[in-house]
Chain A
Amino acid sequence: MKALAVAPVFIPLITLLIGIMLRPYHQQVKVVSLVGAALLTLVGIRLVALANADVVLAVQLGGWEAPYGITVIIDRLSAAMVAITGIIGLAAALYGLVREGNPDVLRNFHIFLHGLLAGVCGAFITGDVFNLYVWFEVLLIGSFALIALGGGRRRLSGTMTYVVLNLLATLVFLLSAGLIYSSTGTLNMGELGLIFRAGEAPPAATLAVVMMLVSFAIKAALFPVFGWLPASYHVAWTPVSALFAGLLTKVGVYAMIRIVTLVWPEYGQAHEVLLWVACATMLVGVLGAAAQNEVRRILSFHIVSQVGYMILGLALASPLAIAGAVFYLIHHIVVKANLFFIGGIAARMTGSERLAAMGGLYAKAPWLAILFAIPALSLAGIPPLSGFWAKFVLVKASLADGFWWAAGVALLTGIFTLLSMSKIWNETFLKAHPQGEKAIRIDDEMRWGWWAISGLAAMTVLIGIGAGPVMEYAIAAAGQLADPVVYFQAITHPGGR
Chain B
Amino acid sequence: MSLALIVMLPFLGAVLPALMIRAGRGACAIATGSVTLLAFALLLTHVPAVLRGEVVQVGWEWLPALGLNVTFMLDGLGLLFAGLILGIGLLIIIYARFYLSKDDPMGAFYTYLLLFQGAMVGIVMSDNILLLLVFWELTSLSSFLLIGFWRHLPEGRQGARMALAVTGAGGLSMIAGMLILGNIAGSYELSVILQNRELIQASPLYLPALILILGGCFTKSAQFPFHFWLPHAMAAPTPVSAYLHSATMVKAGIFLMARMWPVLAGTDAWFYLVSTAGLATMVIAAWIALFKDDLKGLLAFSTVSHLGLVTMLFGFGTPMAAVAGVFHIINHASFKAALFMNAGIVDHETGTRDVKRLGGLLFLMPITATMAMIAAASMAGMPLLNGFLSKEMMLEEAAQTSWAGQGWIVPVLATLGAVFSVAYSFRYIVHVFFGPKRDDYPAKPHDPPAGLWLPPALLVALVVLIGLFPETFAGALVRVAAGAVIGAQVPDFHLSIWHGFTPALWMSVVAVVVGLTLLRLYPRVRALWQAGPHPEAKAMFDAVIDSVVLASRLLVLGLHNGSLQRYLAFMIGAAVVLGFAAFFGTTHAPGGRDTLPVGWAVMVPWVMLLATALLGVVLHRYRFVALIIIGVVGLVVSIGFVYLSAPDLALTQISVEVATVILILLALYFLPKSSPIESTNGRRLRDALLAGVGGLGVGALAWAVMTRDFATLSGYYLEQAKPAGGGTNVVNVILVDFRGFDTFGEIIVLGVAALAIFALLDGALRGRIARSLEGWVPDDPVSADRHPIMMVVVTRVMLPLALIVGVYIFLRGHNMPGGGFIAGLVVSIALIMQYMASGFGWAQQQMRVDYHAMIGAGVLIAAATGIAAMVMGYPFLTSAFDYFHLPIVGEFELTSAMPFDIGVFLTVVGAVMLALAQLSNMGLRLANLPVNTRPMDFDPAALRADGGKER
Contacts and interface: CB of A to CB of B under 8 A. Distances in A.
B288 interface: no
A334 B597 CA distance: 59
B795 interface: no
A419 B545 CA distance: 10
A224 B582 contact: no
Nearest to B173: A411
B742 A130 contact: yes
B931 interface: no
A137 B747 CA distance: 11
Interface in A319-363: 362-363
Contacts of A288: 552, 555-556, 559-560
A307 interface: no
Given A68-B717, A185-B713, A497-B878, A395 B157 contact: no
Interface string A189-204: 0000000000000111
A230 interface: yes
A265 interface: no
Contacts of B585: 269
A185 B712 contact: yes
A399 B180 contact: yes
Given A62-B876, A108-B759, A377-B141, A138 B738 contact: no
A185 B710 contact: yes
Interface in B724-747: 724, 737-742, 745-746
A434 interface: no
Contacts of B154: 431
A382 B137 contact: yes
Contacts of B64: 468
B64, B583, B769, B856 interface centre (most CB from chain A within 10 Å): B856
Interface string A250-283: 0000000000000000000100010000000000
Interface in B694-723: 698, 701, 704-705, 708, 710-713, 716-717, 720
B651 to A, nearest CB: 20
A442 interface: no
A419 B165 contact: yes
A272 B581 CA distance: 13
A468 B739 CA distance: 41
Interface in A130-156: 130-131, 134-135, 137-138, 141-142, 144-145, 148-152
Interface in A383-417: 383-384, 388-389, 392-393, 395-396, 399-400, 404, 407-408, 411-412, 414-415
B164 interface: yes
B62 interface: yes
A472 B61 CA distance: 13
A183 B710 contact: yes
Contacts of B151: 362-363, 430-431
B134 A384 contact: yes
Contacts of B710: 182-185, 202
B574 A224 contact: yes
Given A13-B748, A62-B876, A184-B710, A404 B741 contact: no
Given A430-B151, A475-B65, A399 B183 contact: yes
A111 B859 CA distance: 14
B759 A145 contact: yes
Interface string B545-577: 100110111011101101010111011111100
B118 to A, nearest CB: 12
Nearest to A412: B172
B695 to A, nearest CB: 12
Nearest to B870: A3
Contacts of A13: 748, 859, 863
A60, A62, A211, A414 interface centre (most CB from chain B within 10 Å): A62
Interface string B243-279: 0000000000000000000000000000000000000
B764 interface: yes
Contacts of B579: 207, 210-211, 214
Contacts of B713: 67-68, 185-186
Contacts of A63: 874-875, 878
A422 B164 contact: yes
B748 A287 contact: no
B161 A64 contact: no
A468 B62 contact: yes
B67 to A, nearest CB: 9
B138 A383 contact: yes
B845 interface: no
Nearest to B740: A62
A418 interface: yes
B5 interface: no
B175 interface: yes
B740 A112 contact: no
Interface residues of A, number: 125
Contacts of A213: 578
A70 B752 contact: no
A471 interface: yes
A2 B151 CA distance: 58
A165 B568 contact: yes
A122 interface: yes
Contacts of A423: 161
B258 to A, nearest CB: 22
Nearest to B743: A134
A21 B571 contact: no
B745 A214 contact: no
A364 interface: no
Contact of B66 (A23, A152, A392): A392
Given A105-B763, A399-B176, A393 B552 contact: no
A383 B134 contact: yes
B925 interface: no
A52 interface: no
Given A13-B863, A23-B852, A415 B172 contact: yes
Given A207-B701, A497-B724, A395 B179 contact: yes
A428 B759 CA distance: 34
Interface string A210-240: 1101110110000011011011000000000
Interface string B572-602: 1111001101110111100000000000000
A203 B587 contact: yes
Nearest to B706: A182
Interface in B174-216: 175-176, 179-180, 183, 208
B603 interface: no
Interface in A113-127: 115, 118, 122
Given A68-B738, A399-B183, A2 B574 contact: no
Interface in A46-71: 59-64, 67-70
B694 to A, nearest CB: 10
A17 B856 contact: yes
Interface string B912-940: 00000000000000000000000000000
A225 B569 CA distance: 9
Contact of A141 (B711, B720, B756, B769): B756
6 contacts: A14-B863, A62-B879, A225-B567, A225-B571, A399-B176, A471-B66
Smallest CB-CB A-B distances: 9 pairs = A227-B567, A145-B756, A287-B552, A134-B745, A185-B711, A383-B134, A20-B856, A291-B553, A203-B586
Interface of A: 2-3, 6, 10, 13-14, 16-17, 20-21, 23, 59-64, 67-70, 72, 102, 104-105, 108, 111-112, 115, 118, 122, 130-131, 134-135, 137-138, 141-142, 144-145, 148-152, 160-161, 164-165, 168-169, 172, 175, 179, 181-186, 202-204, 206-207, 210-211, 213-215, 217-218, 224-225, 227-228, 230-231, 269, 273, 284, 287-291, 301, 362-363, 366, 377, 382-384, 388-389, 392-393, 395-396, 399-400, 404, 407-408, 411-412, 414-415, 418-419, 422-423, 426, 430-432, 467-468, 471-472, 475, 495, 497
Given A218-B571, A284-B559, 13 more contacts: A6-B876, A20-B856, A61-B875, A68-B713, A108-B759, A152-B767, A225-B567, A227-B566, A231-B562, A301-B556, A392-B130, A411-B173, A422-B160
